[in-house]
Amino acid sequence: MAQKKQPAVLCPQCELNDVCRQYEKDDALRAAGESLGDVTPQNNVAKGVSVCQAENRFEYLYAVHEGAFKSVVTLPGGEERVTGFHFAGEIIGAEGVSTGKYGRTVVALQDGQVCYFPETAFSADENDNSKIRQGLLMAMSHQVKNEQWTGLMAAHRAEQRVALFLFMISKRFEFHGFSSDEFRLPMSRDDIASYLGLAVETVSRSFQKLKGAGMIQVSGRNVILEDRDALQGFS
Amino acid sequence: MAQKKQPAVLCPQCELNDVCRQYEKDDALRAAGESLGDVTPQNNVAKGVSVCQAENRFEYLYAVHEGAFKSVVTLPGGEERVTGFHFAGEIIGAEGVSTGKYGRTVVALQDGQVCYFPETAFSADENDNSKIRQGLLMAMSHQVKNEQWTGLMAAHRAEQRVALFLFMISKRFEFHGFSSDEFRLPMSRDDIASYLGLAVETVSRSFQKLKGAGMIQVSGRNVILEDRDALQGFS
DNA sequence: GTAAAAAATTGATTAAGATCAAACGTAAGC
DNA sequence: GCTTACGTTTGATCTTAATCAATTTTTTAC
């Protein structure tokens, strides 16, 4: 069966738009770009394939054009934990700019597409790439905000975490111009459980409780937010 | 009694060093700087005073020169939650660059000092501030990494969270050149509990268990890490 | 389209952490 | 220096979520 496609971000809405569009349109910047390496738009990544590996040398910053991705880290004890999600219009590998290596392994949840931005584009060289850096700053700041959401997931009660999770997803979809009150979750219950630090069974039961309370409709991965404000107030 | 001072970051070690030092030394950049507004170094902030308020318009990005700060968010339900800490050499307000407003209220845990970087320094104007932006990119990327740490705090077990918390603190102190295996925690048990999503009593008990296991020594806020690797492996 | 595999839900029991309550230690104020 | 207030630790009970186990649903493969 055909994999249902996740929404793709329109290039004009992408925070890194300037970098890509200028590259394609502006010959001067394109020339400068050549010396920086390529900014390659829209490369396919098949479901389950990783974009980058934790601890590997940072070579590219990525932007999600289409699809959904998860960040995974392997803890010293061997346990794997999902630490975040990346949707269309968001960046992957931001921590690498300062550390020089990827901090997370990032895996495609469905077939998708990512754009590449070479490390040289934001290293301390003498080229003036202020346009590029401006776009990167925006994307980076946005990423900080997303990571801050994640921090809130350490809420006390399980239902609160799940409610907050759905609210966050909704807000992020909305920001990038996708449906914010009715969507299909790209990740498994296992991924959600790992991300929230809960058992799968607890996640499942929390979904049912939120459903029972009339806040959401759920059928497998399909979710409709009946009352997003209530969801937020509850979390 | 005199408040025990938190270590101050030496300006040459600050990721925003270029911005400040160039400002002070390089006349050309200084001239450019004037048109951007001031980069004001080392302003005092008294214990309990807030650097910025959530939802307020983003005017300055801050860098911690000395002291320790906590980020606080008020949830819709009214509950206050600590979402992060900021130590010497780290930035405050990174999310504001993209959102235009502060996402967290940031409060001084002790008397400290912060440096100001005006919003105009990284807005999309025609001035070439690539040096400034380079420094900001680094600091921002670093902030992403710190926020990613926070995300991991949704660990399953309470002792793991506390162990991971201490490990994180240690790593961050080490990065900025401070003592990494023996330090005084600048935040209360309440703050830690809120940050980790645990009850104060559970935090206290976790400390005692880690002590009993020989991983740490604790006396109030004074902590010695006996075996940091074990702490990491455990978390 | 059907079979097999994986994912998700539901139920019963156990364990972990929250809550309630009180005592102790440290730090601030007089 | 003494008193008071706040922060921290310790104890007992109760609630919540993890675990163990089985079933149902959805997805994948042939």
Residues 6+ apart with CB under 8 A from A218: A207, A208, A210, A211, A224
Residues B53/B110, Cβ–Cβ less than 8 Å: no
A159 band by pLDDT with thresholds 50, 70 and 90: very high
Regarding whether B138 and B169 lie in a shared domain, the answer is no
Q: Which of B151, B61, B139 is nearest to B98 (CA)?
A: B61
Residues B127-153: tens digit of each pLDDT: 555 566 666 777 777 778 777 777 887
Residues 6+ apart with CB under 8 A from B146: B84, B90, B172
The answer to whether B198 CB sits below 7 Å from nucleic acid chain C is: yes
Regarding whether B121 and B42 lie in a shared domain, the answer is yes
Regarding whether B135 and B19 lie in a shared domain, the answer is yes
Residues A197-213: tens digit of each pLDDT: 999 999 999 999 999 99
Regarding whether B182 and B138 lie in a shared domain, the answer is no
Residues A138/A19, Cβ–Cβ less than 8 Å: no
The confidence score (pLDDT) of residue B68 equals: 92
Instruction: Count CB-CB contacts under 10 A for residue A220.
Output: 9
Which carries the bigger pLDDT value, residue A152 or residue B28?
A152
Answer whether A232 sits within 8 Å of B154, measured CB to CB: no
Q: Each residue's pLDDT tens digit in chain B (235 positions)?
A: 334 456 666 666 666 666 554 455 445 444 444 433 445 555 788 888 899 999 999 998 888 888 899 999 988 777 889 999 999 888 898 888 888 899 999 999 988 888 887 777 666 554 555 566 666 777 777 778 777 777 887 877 899 999 999 999 999 888 878 888 999 999 999 999 999 999 999 999 999 999 999 899 998 899 999 888 888 776 6
CB proximity B213 to A under 8 Å: no
The confidence score (pLDDT) of residue A51 equals: 93
Instruction: Dump strand ranges (E) for chain A.
Output: 43-45, 50-52, 60-66, 68-74, 80-87, 91-92, 105-108, 112-118, 182-184, 216-219, 222-225
Answer whether A152 sits within 8 Å of B234, measured CB to CB: no
A198 CA from D9 C1′ (Å): 28
Number of domains in chain A: 2
In a domain, B1, yes or no: no
The alpha-carbon gap from B31 to the nearest alpha carbon of chain A, in Å, equals 18
* DSSP secondary structure letters along B83-145: EEEEETT-EE-TTHHHHSB-SSEEEESSSEEEEEEEGGGGSS-SS--HHHHHHHHHHHHHHHH
A114 CA from D7 C1′ (Å): 51
Sheet holding A182-184, edge to edge: A182-184, A222-225, A216-219
Regarding whether B169 and B148 lie in a shared domain, the answer is no
Residue A75, pLDDT above cutoff 90: no
Which amino acid does the sequence have at B189?
A: R
Sheet holding A112-118, edge to edge: A43-45, A112-118, A60-66, A91-92
B3 CA from D3 C1′ (Å): 22
Residues A51/A62, Cβ–Cβ less than 8 Å: yes
Residues A111/A45, Cβ–Cβ less than 8 Å: yes
A189 CA from D25 C1′ (Å): 14
Regarding whether B101 and B213 lie in a shared domain, the answer is no
Torsion on CA atoms A63, A93, A90, A235, rounded to nearest 10: 160
CATH of the domain at A108: 2.60.120.10
In a domain, A5, yes or no: no
Q: Which of A42, A112, A109, A102 is nearest to A70 (CA)?
A: A109
CATH of the domain at B168: 1.10.10.10
Residue B74 belongs to what H/E stretch?
A: strand B68-74
Regarding whether B199 and B177 lie in a shared domain, the answer is yes
Note down the domain range covering B186. 158-234
The alpha-carbon gap from B162 to the nearest alpha carbon of chain A, in Å, equals 13
Last residue of a domain, one of B108, B137, B152: B152
The alpha-carbon gap from B4 to the nearest alpha carbon of chain A, in Å, equals 29
The per-residue pLDDT of chain A, averaged, comes to 80
d(C-alpha B48, C-alpha B44), whole Å: 12
In a domain, B91, yes or no: yes
Which carries the bigger pLDDT value, residue B118 or residue A160?
A160
Residues A171/A180, Cβ–Cβ less than 8 Å: yes
User: At residue A226, what are phi and psi to the nearest 5 degrees?
Assistant: -75, -35
Residues A173-188: tens digit of each pLDDT: 888 888 889 999 999 9
Instruction: Count CB-CB contacts under 10 A for residue A208.
Output: 12
Regarding whether A99 and A64 lie in a shared domain, the answer is yes
d(C-alpha A186, C-alpha A184), whole Å: 6
Regarding whether A175 and A141 lie in a shared domain, the answer is no
Residues A15-46: tens digit of each pLDDT: 666 655 445 544 544 444 443 344 555 678 88
Sheet holding B216-219, edge to edge: B182-184, B222-225, B216-219
Residues A161/A199, Cβ–Cβ less than 8 Å: no
Calculate the alpha carbon distances from A163 to A67, A168, A234, B132, B203 in Å. Answer: 23, 9, 7, 40, 25
The confidence score (pLDDT) of residue A127 equals: 54
Regarding whether A228 and A179 lie in a shared domain, the answer is yes
Last residue of a domain, one of B133, B152, B171: B152
Where on strand C do bases come within 7 A of a protein Cβ? 7-12, 16-21, 25-28
Regarding whether A101 and A23 lie in a shared domain, the answer is yes
Question: And the tokens for B101?
Answer: 């407003």
Question: And the tokens for B103?
Answer: 């996402």
Closest CA to C9 C1' — which residue?
A: A204
Residue A221 gets which letter from DSSP?
Answer: T
Closest CA to C26 C1' — which residue?
A: B220
Measured between CA atoms, the residue of chain A closest to residue B142 is A98
Regarding whether A116 and A22 lie in a shared domain, the answer is yes
